[in-house]
Amino acid sequence: MQQFHTQLKENKKKLKNDFFYLNFIQKSILKAVDSGWIDQVDNLQQLKASVGNRQNGQRNAIFEYHKVALDAYEIMIYRIKRNIIRNICQSMMTYDDNGDLVIHFP
């Protein structure tokens, strides 16, 4: 935690003002959520395709789908939280020619 807080303070020093800092935090969170949901949708589509095979195995397909989808959701939440921290700590911040903040995510 101490290393996280140290990196957070260093990132705040690199930014020109509180507006850019808030913008950086918001984009870091949004990037993590967006990536997580994209992966989740892909996983659910693959699961949907495999549900037919599970039904052939004498299992309740709807129950199986909901069970696996809920487990995948919990994993997604964990990964989003991890990626938020990673984005905040490892992103590179620069400014473009107009002075606008540009963030390069890992």
pTM score above 0.85: no
Whether 86 and 71 have beta carbons less than 8 Å apart is answered as no
- Please determine, for residue 29, whether its predicted confidence score (pLDDT) is greater than 80: yes
Q: Tokens for 19, please give them.
A: 């507006």
- Please determine, for residue 92, whether its predicted confidence score (pLDDT) is greater than 90: no
Backbone angles phi, psi at 95, to 5 degrees: -120, 140
Mean pLDDT computed over every residue of the chain: 86
Q: In this predicted structure, what is the pLDDT of residue 10?
A: 85
CA distances from 15 to 31, 56, 61, 104 (A): 19, 57, 51, 14
Give the tens place of pLDDT for each residue, 52-70. 666 655 667 778 788 888 9
- Please determine, for residue 77, whether its predicted confidence score (pLDDT) is greater than 90: yes
Amino acid at 4: F
CA distances from 42 to 12, 48, 61, 84 (A): 35, 10, 19, 20
